[in-house]
């Protein structure tokens, strides 16, 4: 399930960082499965990458707002 930007903006910085870590772990597993040829949902890889980018973008927005 894709994260919505408004939902991410309501999270704290620590929650966002924890979400990034969990999605990165999921991405690692998906890429490993892709290399071994056992990935069931290959589109999940691109979705995970986009979610990570979205999380980092909103983290940057939050840090710029503090300045």
Residue-wise DSSP of 22-51: HHHHHHHHHHHHHHHT--S-THHHHHHHHH
Do the beta carbons of residue 27 and residue 43 sit within 8 Å?
no
Domain boundaries, the chain: 5-66
* pLDDT for position 1: 61
The CATH number assigned to the domain with range 5-66 reads 1.10.287.310
C-alpha span between 26 and 13 (Å, rounded): 20
For residue 64, what are the CA distances in angstroms to 5, 20, 61?
17, 19, 5
One digit per residue, pLDDT tens: the chain, 67 residues?
A: 678 899 999 999 999 999 999 999 999 999 999 999 998 889 999 999 999 999 999 999 999 988 7
């Amino acid at each position: 399930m894709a994260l919505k930007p408004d939902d991410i903006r309501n999270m704290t910085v620590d929650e966002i960082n924890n979400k990034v870590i969990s999605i990165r772990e999921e991405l690692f597993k998906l890429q490993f499965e892709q290399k071994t040829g056992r990935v069931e949902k290959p589109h999940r890889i691109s979705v995970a990458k986009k979610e990570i980018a979205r999380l980092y973008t909103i983290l940057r927005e939050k840090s710029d707002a503090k300045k």
